[in-house]
């Protein structure tokens, strides 16, 4: 697959940006385009050409730039964490955004964690609830809750809420609430640190496990295995 990033310049043609699909295969991912800046205009006067065209479903993702023909831009191509002003300028949608990495906003915390470069900080912008699967943090990331709360409500078949599995990670400045109930003869882990190359340091953090323990089961706020390390630093409290 080819990744194309457009972060500036002026593009003017019938199609200012055109992502083709010569194989006519919607499931293939031959090319992905992300537009974060630039000015885009279609010269077509008969209304037949969108300013940006994508032959594959959602293979173009727009997080910035100015589109001089805003009515000719499909809103499906705009990232869910962004919106378009009346003048065609793409701006962050703070209501839809839940996290930020550098200057990039995200509507999905898992996508923010996945995209974050090694050693980067993922900043939580509002309280969120974890459902479906757990959060997996690695690459020495810092998850800064910025005073917000993550509520772990349901993680499918996994008994882990947030797993740290690589690098020198940090978790700070907020609250983790685990509302899951441990099944019979099964332990539930809110924070799980695994691997000899994994360390986690918590700062100004509260971890709360709300559900009482059932017979022959255990709810564990923080657990370390396979030679990982955990440092409960300044301001860390556990209520379980």
* 3-class DSSP assignment, residue 109: helix
| Residue 189 clears pLDDT 90, i.e. is over it | yes
Joined together, the tokens standing for residue 220 give 């564990």
pLDDT confidence of 153, banded at 50, 70, 90? Answer: very high
Question: With contact defined as beta carbons under 8 Å apart, do 123 and 98 qualify?
Answer: no
pLDDT confidence of 46, banded at 50, 70, 90? Answer: confident
| Cα distance between residue 92 and residue 101, in whole Å | 13
Which of 172, 144, 162 is CA-nearest to residue 209? 162
| Cα distance between residue 83 and residue 144, in whole Å | 25
| Residue 190 clears pLDDT 70, i.e. is over it | yes
CA terminus-to-terminus distance, the chain: 47
Joined together, the tokens standing for residue 86 give 């009346």
Q: What is the pLDDT of residues 63-73, one digit of tens each?
A: 999 998 888 88
Question: With contact defined as beta carbons under 8 Å apart, do 44 and 73 qualify?
Answer: no
CA atoms within 13 A on the CB side of 190: 26
Backbone angles phi, psi at 169, to 5 degrees: -95, 160
| Cα distance between residue 4 and residue 59, in whole Å | 10
* 3-class DSSP assignment, residue 120: coil
Average pLDDT value over all residues in the chain: 90
Q: What is the pLDDT of residue 162?
A: 97
31-42 and 66-67 as β-strands: parallel, antiparallel, unpaired? parallel
pTM of the model: 0.90
Q: What is the pLDDT of residue 8?
A: 97
Question: With contact defined as beta carbons under 8 Å apart, do 65 and 93 qualify?
Answer: no
Q: What is the pLDDT of residues 85-104, one digit of tens each?
A: 999 999 999 999 999 999 99
Q: What is the pLDDT of residues 201-239, one digit of tens each?
A: 999 999 999 875 555 567 889 999 999 999 999 999 999
| Cβ neighbours for 79, distance < 8 A, ≥ 6 positions apart | 61, 62, 63, 105, 107
| Cβ neighbours for 208, distance < 8 A, ≥ 6 positions apart | 175, 176, 177, 178, 238, 239, 240
Q: What is the pLDDT of residue 28?
A: 57
């Amino acid at each position: 697959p080819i990744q194309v990033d457009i972060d500036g310049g002026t593009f003017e043609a019938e199609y200012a940006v055109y992502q083709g699909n010569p194989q006519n295969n919607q499931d293939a991912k031959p090319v992905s385009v992300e537009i974060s800046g630039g000015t885009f205009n279609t010269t077509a006067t008969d209304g037949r050409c969108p300013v940006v065209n994508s032959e594959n479903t959602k293979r173009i993702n727009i997080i910035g730039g100015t589109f001089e023909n805003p009515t000719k831009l499909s809103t499906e191509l705009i990232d869910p964490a962004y919106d378009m002003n009346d003048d065609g300028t793409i701006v962050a949608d703070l209501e839809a955004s839940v996290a930020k990495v550098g200057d990039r906003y995200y509507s999905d915390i898992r996508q923010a964690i996945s995209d974050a470069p090694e050693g980067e900080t993922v900043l939580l912008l509002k309280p969120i609830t974890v459902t479906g699967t757990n959060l997996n943090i690695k690459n020495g990331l810092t998850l800064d809750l910025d005073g917000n709360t993550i509520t772990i409500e349901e993680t499918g078949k996994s008994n882990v809420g947030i797993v740290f599995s690589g690098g020198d990670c940090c978790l700070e400045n907020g609250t983790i609430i685990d509302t899951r109930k441990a099944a019979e003869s099964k332990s539930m882990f809110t924070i799980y640190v695994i691997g000899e190359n994994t360390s986690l340091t918590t700062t100004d953090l509260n971890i709360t496990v709300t559900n009482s323990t059932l017979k022959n089961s255990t709810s564990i706020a923080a657990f370390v295995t396979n030679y990982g390390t955990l440092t409960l630093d300044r301001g860390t409290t556990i209520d379980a």
